[in-house]
Amino acid sequence: MTDFSGVAPAIAKALVKRGYTDLTPVQKSMLDPALAASDALVSAQTGSGKTVAFGLALAPTLLEGEERFEPAAEPLALVIAPTRELALQVKRELEWLYEMTGAVIVSCVGGMDIRSERRALERGAHIVVGTPGRLCDHIRRKAFNMSRLKAVVLDEADEMLDLGFREDLEFILEASPDDRRTLMFSATVPAAIAKLAKSYQRNAVRVATTAEEKQHVDIEYRALAVAPSDRENAIINVLRYYEATNAIVFCSTRAAVNHLTARFHNRNFNVVALSGELTQSERTHALQAMRDGRARVCIATDVAARGIDLPGLDLVIHADLPTNSDTLLHRSGRTGRAGRKGVSALIVPLNARRKAERLLDNAGISAAWARPPSAEEVTARDEERLLADPIFEEAPREEEQDLVKRLLAAHGAEKLATAFVSLYRSNQSAPEDLIEVSVQDGPRKRRDNADGPREPSQKGPRDDFGSSVWFSISVGRKQNAEPRWLIPMLCRNGNVTKREIGAIKMQQDETFVEIAADSADAFLQSIGPNKALERGIRVTQLNGTPDFNKSAPSKPYAAKKPYDDRRDERPKDGFKKGPRSDAAPAAGERDSKPWAKKPGKFEGQPKFEGKPKFEGKPKFEGKPGNGPKPKFAKKKG
């Protein structure tokens, strides 16, 4: 029988029932007698069994040597998690762990019916699991009585601080009893976590497990170098090559999640989205679809997927590179859990290679650099899986034997095999052809002459480009159009490669682009009947070569002439010098107030007939500056 010495009997029975044969390092560390009544700051990587670990740590405090809990009243323990998904997952884990103790566990998370949660709290609970914002709401509304609270657990404490929950956490901790136990679990322990622990824990025991030092030993990291325009195609090929039971694709924004979800739906992938804009019900249904096999690919943002645990998650794909090494570890930690092997694949555009190398180096990870699987490699992998499919080892059922004989008699073995292969492939997305890149040296660039490499640019048509078709794009210099973002946009939306793009001639309000004649029809078909790219940019096919000077400004600005040349063009007889000599005045003769001198009399000076006459001086009413404006007497005549 498995030895779970030090574990409460009811908890040990639940572990055996769940199929546990041994505990992870972080779980074993929680059974140390020195921690039985102490606060603890525990750092352990994602996937190391932290939920069961703090469940084991709470048991002695909550049960106090008893087999079962007394009837539920005010909560005895509080577990705080950063996201709704993680909180609900923690609740499920604690439910089976405390199943034989009679524990009542209630969740309080944003997005759920707050009235139902209030009624559940009124009925009584032993353990409450919630997110910071919703817990604060219940505390302020006097629905959550914390007077009997014996322990508080902060799960993924570093993530809660990153998400801006510091004030909520401080409010909850200050509202809880002073003699409570406080357990903090965090993947990393930055200065902010250490400061929080010092403020709200008493002589906390620092626990760093060996699992923390061995960063994800069950995860194979692969960095896949791709041309920037091939990023999405590379993801498709990676998904097809591994055919994981469950896979998760991480994006940096909600818009990217929506875009990839729509594209993968069109490519026959069973996919669900997970982002912050979804309701709690939609997010719950998405995760359930992954758990019961209705979906195999989850496309998610970092926050939405924080802490989720999907069974059989064998593949993590970073569609967008993470912002820092901690995020890289958290993302990758979704796979390689509980002794299972997993793959973490970074899609690295060639222009982001240095960023990827820094991320991997800061995380202490050694990744294998390679190209994504090609279409041929995906097809070969499909054939291997088909030949090894266990279905061929099954004997035909008795009720099917008659049909099998009739099919063989009617079509023969070869036709049946052909039909089987067709059906097998019809349920799969076709792999994509990728631009070949060099993993070490970057993309293989075309050389048009001996002077060096040349990419599509604003230069004239290439001599070796062959027949082509010209298109007008409805952006130009006035709209800040640049080839560095226009070329990837054409590749993405028009399903063309850089090799099929010739010259680019930028004008004031439009840009002329040369597309290889063999690819022009496919280009038009890919951009759709609206003939539009992203951002409302429109595409128009031209007949023949465009007139590159047609769009130039009709009245170009003339270049300014040098000052000396402009001076020579002044009228020769327009002005004459006055009597003043060019010689410098003698010492003492220089006028100290040159502005007081009357202007000299020049020929051609306009003459005025007298000066305007005013009767009397201006009259001020009151002191200057404080009274009304001066009043002038009206001029007669």
Q: CA dist 266 to 236, 269, 379, 435, Å?
A: 12, 8, 20, 22
User: Does residue 594 register a pLDDT over 70?
Assistant: no
Q: What is the DSSP letter of 468?
A: E
Q: Does a structural domain hold residue 556? A: no
The residue-averaged pLDDT of 16-33 equals 86
Same domain for 376 and 349: yes
Domain boundary among 213, 240, 269: 213
Question: Is the separation of the CB atoms in 321 and 359 below 8 Å?
Answer: yes
Same domain for 370 and 244: yes
Same domain for 269 and 157: no
Burial tier of 512 (Cβ tally within 10 Å: 0-12, 13-18, 19+): buried
| pLDDT band for position 615 (cuts 50, 70, 90) | low
Q: Does a structural domain hold residue 620? A: no
d(CA 389, CA 381): 12
The CA-to-CA distance between both ends of the chain, in Å, stands at 124
Q: Does a structural domain hold residue 528? A: yes
User: Does residue 19 register a pLDDT over 60?
Assistant: yes
d(CA 72, CA 104): 7
- Alpha helices by DSSP H, listed for 210-299, are 210-213, 231-242, 254-266, 280-291
User: Which range is most confident: 253-257, 563-567, 611-615?
Assistant: 253-257
For residues 425 and 554, the model is more confident at: 425
The chain-wide mean pLDDT, for the chain, equals 79
Same domain for 232 and 149: no
pLDDT tens sequence across 412-421: 888 888 888 8
Same domain for 230 and 209: no
Burial tier of 385 (Cβ tally within 10 Å: 0-12, 13-18, 19+): exposed
The residue-averaged pLDDT of 403-412 equals 85
| pLDDT band for position 626 (cuts 50, 70, 90) | low
pTM, two decimals, is: 0.50
Q: Does a structural domain hold residue 2? A: no
Same domain for 501 and 377: no
CATH code at 461?
3.30.70.330
**Long-range CB pairs of 191-194, under 8 A, 24+ apart, other chains included:** 192/158, 192/161, 192/166, 193/41, 193/157, 193/158, 193/161, 194/41
Same domain for 489 and 340: no
Q: Does a structural domain hold residue 17? A: yes
The pLDDT of residue 447 is 35
Q: How many domains does the chain have?
A: 4
pLDDT tens sequence across 210-233: 444 444 567 899 999 998 888 999
Q: How many Cα atoms within 13 Å fall on the side-chain side of residue 276?
A: 12
User: Does residue 118 register a pLDDT over 90?
Assistant: yes
The residue-averaged pLDDT of 425-434 equals 80
Q: What is the DSSP string of 378-440?
A: HHHHHHHHHHT-GGGGSPPPHHHHHHHHHHHHHHHHHHHHHHHHHHHHHTSPPP-----EETT
| Boundaries of domain holding 521 | 445-541
Q: Does a structural domain hold residue 428? A: no
Domain boundary among 362, 381, 400: 381
Same domain for 199 and 291: no
Q: Does a structural domain hold residue 572? A: no
* Adjacent-strand bridge partners of 155: 185
The pLDDT of residue 609 is 58
The pLDDT of residue 2 is 59
Same domain for 397 and 361: no
Provide the token pair at 499. Answer: 């090799």
The pLDDT of residue 454 is 36
Domain boundary among 161, 187, 213: 213
Q: Does a structural domain hold residue 594? A: no
Same domain for 245 and 187: no
For residues 226 and 334, the model is more confident at: 226
The pLDDT of residue 448 is 36
Same domain for 333 and 189: no
Same domain for 244 and 199: no
511 backbone dihedrals φ, ψ, rounded to 5°: -130, 130
d(CA 200, CA 175): 12
CATH code at 288?
3.40.50.300
Question: Is the separation of the CB atoms in 356 and 226 below 8 Å?
Answer: no
